[in-house]
Copies of this chain bind each other. A is one copy, B any other.
Amino acid sequence: MTNFAAELEHVTDYWTPRVVGEVNDQYVKVAKLKGEFVWHTHENEDELFLIVYGTLVIQLEHREDVVLTPGEFFTVPKGVRHNPVAAEEVGIVLIETKTTLHTGDIVTDRSVPIDRQVG
């Protein structure tokens, strides 16, 4: 049994997803976000955002922003360029294919390799 709120208490760094579970070929991760991330695309993979606390705005290229509050989720479809923005700290759950790079096609100093996200 895994409790999202309890797992988020263990997270100390923003924009650093932490793997807390899996289902089939997908990882379940928690992350704390604050501020703006970086525009990026996952060419072949969807990415699901679920909110535990706070408010997250997902900016999408050529589409309206999606505003998410606790208990709400949105799946960014593969190939859609997006940028998560959190005015205040937000605690989220991410579900994405185990091979997904969280910064997508962009490698920045924000990129956290998967071996640092697991365990």
Q: How many copies does the complex hold?
A: 2
A25 within 8 A of partner (CB): yes
C-alpha gap A2/B76 in the complex (Å): 12
Interface of A is mostly: strand
C-alpha gap A24/B24 in the complex (Å): 11
Contact of A22 with B74 in the complex, beta carbons under 8 Å: no
A38 within 8 A of partner (CB): no
- A43 vs chain B, min Cβ distance (A): 13
| Interface residues in chain A, defined as those with a beta carbon under 8 Å from any beta carbon in chain B | 1-5, 21-26, 28, 45-48, 52, 66-68, 71-75, 78, 95-97
7 closest A-B pairs by beta carbon, nearest first, are A23-B48, A23-B46, A3-B72, A23-B75, A24-B46, A1-B74, A23-B95
